[in-house]
Structure 1
Amino acid sequence: MARRAVITGIGVLAPGGIGTKAFWNLLSEGRTATRGITRFDPSPFRCKVAAEADFDPELHGLTPQEIRRMDRATQFAVVAVREAVADSGLETGALDPHRVGVGIGSALGATTSLEREYRVLSDAGRRELPDHAYALRHLHDYLTPSTIAAEVAWAAGAEGPAAVVSTGCTAGLDAVGHAVDLIREDAADVMITGATDTPISPITMAGFDAIRATTPRHDDAAHASRPFDASRNGFVLGEGAAVFVVEELQAALRRGAHIYAELAGYASRCSAFHMTGLRPDGRELARAVTEALDEARIPPGAVDYVNAHGSGTQQNDRHETAALKAALGHHAYRTPVSSIKSMVGHSLGGSGSVELAASALAMRHHVVPPTANLHTPDPECDLDYVPLTAREHRTDAVLTVGSGFGGFQSAIVLARPDRSLR
């Protein structure tokens, strides 16, 4: 019998509230967590807004030594891991640790700490050669993204396969897809997987300012992120982490675990086209969607909801709309589609897993979260984007997609393990 992978635990740390419950409350109520940047002085930048998480690491169980050792992105991941494991009810101490693996996605790794330490070592840029005498002993950990996977493995007692997947803004989907493959090929029985990114820092803002990818709408921060709206003019940077306990289906059933969804299909493609540009027809994303649905053995007409990448840039939203039409055919017009980036911003590599968590929770509650701030749809974005208000809607099969710089396009299909396709 083919091995199947299911989600049995979810942990989320995102803007607007810490924990899965606070995250879902924000989404289902259609509230936004975007605001003026408080983590540093944003006045020199074109974009002055972001979706920040109000996170106190000590309040959420990290020791002073862990706080010193871990970058903010790693702290997010570890706190989310602890929630996910508790949510799953899994007794990790009773498992063979060599059968428990880790797969974590991140686009930028420890950017927050690297920038902070460079400022110290260079005396705020006044020294041409940084003075290594001021370096923390953990500086190498910040430089090496694999540290995130190591910390997650230690937190979960996992001694199986461990890796960081860094494919830009699709990393949160690709890491989970990699974890599913390990379970299917019998390399692990349990995977602790997801993604984390905390990119709200001066160097990241400067980079996106330079290519005008982020919105300059700083006079109305709560309504700055406007996916699919005719007035959209760039995305709002965010931060966040989502981690899942993913188990082999039969093992989860034997222990009576609550199952959120089966990870039924995954595919990823690269456009090999442009570092930041997208083909208007969305053919690579459409191909990823089609192959993910084929792997899940779910026809396009059975998709009940699409959790969109929906970054809020002119080209992404049109590209994604075209891809969904190509992959789902006429059913695309009947399928609710929404972007939660309108509420929690774009956490880069973390976004795929944060959105996968939203998709699993939508299935649990049979509620589709809205696209906030969508008042005047772009005529070229003519699908049902669930504007402003959440919608009750039966969801047995959900598609979530991601699109990243470099041309990466990924898709995951969630389904109920006992689904009957209508």
Structure 2
Amino acid sequence: MVITGIGVVAPGGIGAKQYWELLTAGRTATRTISLFNAADFRSRVAAEVDFDPVRSGLSRREIRRWDRTTQFAVVAAREALADSGALGEFDAHRTGVMVGTACGMTTSLDREYAVVSDEGRTWQVDAEHGVPYLYDYFLPSSMAAELAWLADAQGPVGVLSTGCTSGIDVVGHAADIIRDGAADVMISGASDAAISPITVACFDAIKATSPRNDSPETASRPFDRTRNGFVLGEGAAIFVMEELGHALRRGAHLYAEVSGHATRSNAYSMTGLRSDGAELAEAIRQAMARARIDASDVDYVNAHGSATRQNDLHETAAFKLGLGEHAYRTPISSIKSMIGHSLGAICSLEVAASALAIEHSVIPPTANLHEPDPDCDLDYVPLVAREQNTDVVLSVASGFGGFQSAIVLTKPERRAA
């Protein structure tokens, strides 16, 4: 199962090329929230996408009908399909769609609730003031349907939502669909655009986000002693995935092979993490086993790196358990330091970064890492990108509800060798 097309909508750049340039330059796209008036919130920092839907090729009708999350997904999917070089060439009945999201159409639902409730003043809402697209906003499957229509995909189509691990899990599930013979091609990835009052209020309530409002560009500090919470983000990454033989027969460019995926639950807490990292370590071991690699084969780890003390310590422990002594020799970095945490979408953006790291043999840095936490004593690639041969990448994720996931990407030529 190989990735043959990549499409990205991310803070700091639209398109995979701009996205990769931002990451490898170590630039941050975090700033003061501008999508709504956040003056009354504890945390007023986010990584927003500078997104002009008209310039991105959407019609006025599409803009009016689709939530921002769907707009991101469609724009990213169009790029991925064009990048794959196979627009209109796939067998419709052997092509499927699997899309991930944590929050669905939050932005539109938030906006429309304010309208039908008269800005929250009316307990019994007046549905007559709602837009005719509310049905689509309530069902994230509407996003999968739009991508299916875009790609003329008449095979397996669905939505996966496992919180902040959605972007990894959806790629792993799409690979399984191909492996099981149900499709030759899958359009897969995740999208979230949840920078809205309700989302910011929820994370404010549990003090999970950074209140570093006076320095938004340095607010996300994974593995740093001075970190004080994550920075909310938004975006999408969509991939064209194919069975290897199918891709080779049409001469497709191969970014990476999706070699192994595993997910586990800590069955412990909605928001808490066990300090030993055992369940994430088990996901890492199972993903490597499915990929048929040893820990010593891993060249780079794309970390969850949310910039909360609880996660950073949990993840560091998991790397030591899952990779053993090799954890101390493996470069690890968190791109959330630059593009924030876009909830369900972030892991697909991290899969894109992992595939591009294999493509270019460059490891993106952890920005804002000036004072490493002594309890996070691994190589977290501070500040500056690192050129290094990168044949095997492990990407991991941790999500509310206790979800822990890992995925292994490898250089396609490695299988032939």
Find the partner of 1:375 among 358, 361, 370.
370
Q: Which residue of 2 aligns with 1:220?
A: 215
- The letter for the 2-side match of 1:375 is H
Q: Which residue of 2 aligns with 1:7?
A: 3
SS at match of 1:218: coil
Where do residues 247-396 of structure 1 align in structure 2 (5 Å cutoff)? 247-396=242-391
1:207 aligns with 2:202: yes
Contact 1:302–1:421 (Cα < 8 Å) also in 2 = no
- The letter for the 1-side match of 2:28 is T
Contact 2:90–2:185 (Cα < 8 Å) also in 1 = no
* Compared CA separation, residues 259 and 185, structure 1 to 2 (3 A): same
- 1:420 deviates by 6.8
* Compared CA separation, residues 421 and 292, structure 1 to 2 (3 A): farther
Instruction: Report the Cα distance in structure 2 between the residues aligned to 1:353 and 1:313, rounded to whole angstroms.
Output: 20
Instruction: Report the Cα distance in structure 1 between the residues aligned to 2:280 and 2:395, rounded to whole angstroms.
Output: 11
1:72 aligns with 2:77: no
Contact 1:57–1:67 (Cα < 8 Å) also in 2 = yes
- 1:37 deviates by 0.4
Instruction: Report the Cα distance in structure 1 between the residues aligned to 2:15 and 2:124, rounded to whole angstroms.
Output: 42
Contact 2:161–2:344 (Cα < 8 Å) also in 1 = yes
CA distances 1:55-108 after superposition (whole Å, capped 9, x unpaired): 0111101111111111000000000000000001013x2322111000000000
- 1:417 deviates by 2.4
- The letter for the 2-side match of 1:53 is V
- 1:416 deviates by 1.5
Q: Which residue of 1 aligns with 2:19?
A: 23
Where do residues 37-56 of structure 1 align in structure 2 (5 Å cutoff)? 37-56=33-52
Instruction: Report the Cα distance in structure 2 between the residues aligned to 1:219 and 1:418, rounded to whole angstroms.
Output: 47
Find the partner of 1:145 among 140, 149, 163.
140
- 1:421 deviates by 11
Instruction: Report the Cα distance in structure 2 between the residues aligned to 1:270 and 1:71, rounded to whole angstroms.
Output: 31
- 1:419 deviates by 1.2
1:192 aligns with 2:200: no
Instruction: Report the Cα distance in structure 1 between the residues aligned to 2:129 and 2:84, rounded to whole angstroms.
Output: 43
Q: Which residue of 2 aligns with 1:98?
A: 93
SS at match of 1:418: helix
- The letter for the 2-side match of 1:250 is G
Q: Which residue of 1 aligns with 2:403?
A: 408
Instruction: Report the Cα distance in structure 1 between the residues aligned to 2:230 and 2:130, rounded to whole angstroms.
Output: 34
SS at match of 1:349: helix
SS at match of 1:94: coil
Contact 1:371–1:385 (Cα < 8 Å) also in 2 = yes
CA distances 1:38-65 after superposition (whole Å, capped 9, x unpaired): 0111111110000000001111011111
Find the partner of 1:33 among 29, 32, 55.
29
SS at match of 1:250: helix
CA distances 1:243-302 after superposition (whole Å, capped 9, x unpaired): 000000001011111000000000000100000000000000000000000000010000
Instruction: Report the Cα distance in structure 2 between the residues aligned to 1:107 and 1:298, rounded to whole angstroms.
Output: 30
Instruction: Report the Cα distance in structure 1 between the residues aligned to 2:281 and 2:251, rounded to whole angstroms.
Output: 37
Instruction: Report the Cα distance in structure 2 between the residues aligned to 1:169 and 1:421, rounded to whole angstroms.
Output: 34
Instruction: Report the Cα distance in structure 1 between the residues aligned to 2:137 and 2:27, rounded to whole angstroms.
Output: 34
Find the partner of 1:118 among 113, 117, 124.
113
SS at match of 2:148: helix
Instruction: Report the Cα distance in structure 2 between the residues aligned to 1:66 and 1:164, rounded to whole angstroms.
Output: 21
Contact 1:298–1:421 (Cα < 8 Å) also in 2 = no
- The letter for the 1-side match of 2:327 is A
Contact 2:226–2:371 (Cα < 8 Å) also in 1 = yes
Find the partner of 2:241 among 240, 246, 252.
246
- The letter for the 2-side match of 1:179 is A
Instruction: Report the Cα distance in structure 2 between the residues aligned to 1:162 and 1:271, rounded to whole angstroms.
Output: 29
1:170 aligns with 2:165: yes
- 1:23 deviates by 0.3
Instruction: Report the Cα distance in structure 2 between the residues aligned to 1:314 and 1:146, rounded to whole angstroms.
Output: 35
Deviates more, 1:227-236 or 1:409-418: 409-418
Q: Percent identity among equivalent residues? A: 65
SS at match of 1:164: strand
Instruction: Report the Cα distance in structure 2 between the residues aligned to 1:302 and 1:174, rounded to whole angstroms.
Output: 22
Instruction: Report the Cα distance in structure 2 between the residues aligned to 1:154 and 1:57, rounded to whole angstroms.
Output: 19
CA distances 1:5-49 after superposition (whole Å, capped 9, x unpaired): 000000000000111011000000000000000011111111000
Instruction: Report the Cα distance in structure 1 between the residues aligned to 2:412 and 2:136, rounded to whole angstroms.
Output: 40
Contact 1:179–1:193 (Cα < 8 Å) also in 2 = yes
Instruction: Report the Cα distance in structure 2 between the residues aligned to 1:98 and 1:408, rounded to whole angstroms.
Output: 32
- The letter for the 2-side match of 1:345 is G
TM-score, structure 1 as length reference: 0.98
Contact 1:300–1:331 (Cα < 8 Å) also in 2 = yes
1:237 aligns with 2:193: no
Q: Which residue of 1 aligns with 2:78?
A: 82
